[in-house]
Amino acid sequence: MLIKRNDVVAVFIDIQEKLFPFIYENEKLNTVLLKLIDGLKILHTPILITEQYPKGIGKTIPSLINLLNEDYKPIEKMTFSCCKSDEFMNALRVLNRKHVLITGIEAHVCVLQTTIELIENGYIPVIIEDAISSRTLANKLNALERMKQEGAIISNYESILFELCEISGTEEFKALSRIIK
């Protein structure tokens, strides 16, 4: 099944300043996250941002805040799964979209638990593999395998942007192509 832009929301889970320096390949992850946000903005895809205990772990990393600008409206949470936050679930319900693009850290904790609970709540999580990570590659790979076993779709930022775009030759396609280069 193809993922349609009018049925998708993106979630950026806990990409926070005090943890991010310790994340596996964090510079590469930052680059992908910025490209993904740029692409999602072109496609007018709603974006939800979560922050796990920001008093202790800090806010979302500055590069994302700067790019999101007025769209930076974090949902603070204490639970590992975003789905255990009433504010998050209310925001998701209001959007009324079935497919949930998942990015963030750490893959084997908050990303994994959110993915499983999204499935339990009738959503279809789409894990953007190159936009998630953990402190170790082994933990990321283990989480990806578990999420796949649970029924999540695994994709990457380039594939999902062009899947949502659908048509080449448009101004959106040209803008996305410039981002991906």
Residues 92-141: tens digit of each pLDDT: 999 999 999 999 999 999 999 999 999 999 999 999 999 999 999 999 99
Q: Among 110, 130, 140, 165, which one carries the catalytic annotation?
A: 110
d(CA 124, CA 161): 17
Evaluate if residue 1 carries a pLDDT over 90: no
Where along the chain do its domains lie?
5-180
pLDDT band with cut points at 50, 70 and 90 for residue 41: very high
* Percent of the chain surpassing pLDDT 90: 97
Report pLDDT for 181: 84
d(CA 67, CA 71): 9
Confirm if 16 and 57 have CB atoms less than 8 A apart: yes
89 phi and psi angles, rounded to 5 deg: -65, -35
List, for residues 63-97, the tens digit of each pLDDT value: 999 999 988 999 999 999 999 999 999 999 999 99
* Percent of the chain surpassing pLDDT 70: 100
Active site residue 98: no
Q: Among 14, 82, 83, 140, which one carries the catalytic annotation?
A: 14
Report pLDDT for 128: 98
If 0-12 CB within 10 Å is exposed, 13-18 middle and 19+ buried, where does residue 107 land?
buried
Active site residue 4: no
Q: Say which CATH superfamily domain 5-180 falls into.
A: Isochorismatase-like (3.40.50.850)
Backbone torsion region of residue 139, taken as left when φ is above 0, otherwise alpha when ψ lies between -120 and 50, otherwise beta: alpha
Active site residue 165: no
Q: Among 59, 77, 82, 140, which one carries the catalytic annotation?
A: 77
CB count, 10 Å around CB of 177?
Answer: 13
CA dihedral over 162, 166, 168, 172, signed as positive or negative = negative
Q: What is the mean pLDDT of residues 15-19?
A: 97
